[in-house]
Amino acid sequence: MNYEISINSKYEYEINKVLIKEKIFNKELFDYRISDRLEFVNTLIDWISEARESDKNLMKDDLKYLINLSDEYIFSSILTNEYVCKSDNLKEFNKLCFDLLKLNKKVKKCNRLKTLF
C-alpha cells in the first residue's frame, strides 16, 4: 500500500486521512518526526550558521540532499541526521507510515482506556 502524508486545516499531520496524535511526537514515542521539507530546509540553514565547525560539512550535505528532493513532507530522525522520503525510498517510507499508523492506533486505544502512555 502507498501512503500519503498531508496536513489538515488545524496544521496537524495525517497519513491517508488518519490524524496522527501529536502526543506521539511530543513524547518521542516514534524515532521519526514528520516534517515539512521546505520548513526543515530553512531550519537547517539556521542551524548551520550556529553549528560547530566539525558539524557544518555533514549539515551542508544534508541540506544539499533535502533541497534536491521534490517531496512536500519527509520523515526526519529524532536520533540521527537520517531522512526518509517517498521519492527516494518508497519502501522505507511506506514502512514508517505503516508503523506510525499502528502506533497511533495504540495511543488512541490507550487514551480511551485512560492508561498512561
Contact assessment for residue 63 and residue 41, using Cβ atoms and an 8 Å cutoff: yes
Distance of CA 19 to the CA centre of its chain: 14
Residue 8 pLDDT > 70: yes
Which pLDDT band, with edges at 50, 70 and 90, does 10 fall under? confident
Percentage of the chain modeled with pLDDT above 70: 94
> For the chain, first and last CA: distance in Å?
28
Q: Where are the alpha helices (DSSP H) in the chain?
A: 22-26, 37-50, 53-67, 90-113
Does pLDDT of 52 surpass 70?
Answer: yes
Residue 112, pLDDT score:
65
* Confidence label for 110 from pLDDT (cuts 50, 70 and 90): confident
State residue 116's pLDDT score.
Answer: 52
* Residue 105, C-alpha cell as written in the block: 492506533
Q: Could you give the CA distance from residue 43 to residue 82 in angstroms, rounded to a whole number? A: 15
Mean pLDDT of 75-85: 96
Domain boundaries, the chain: 5-93
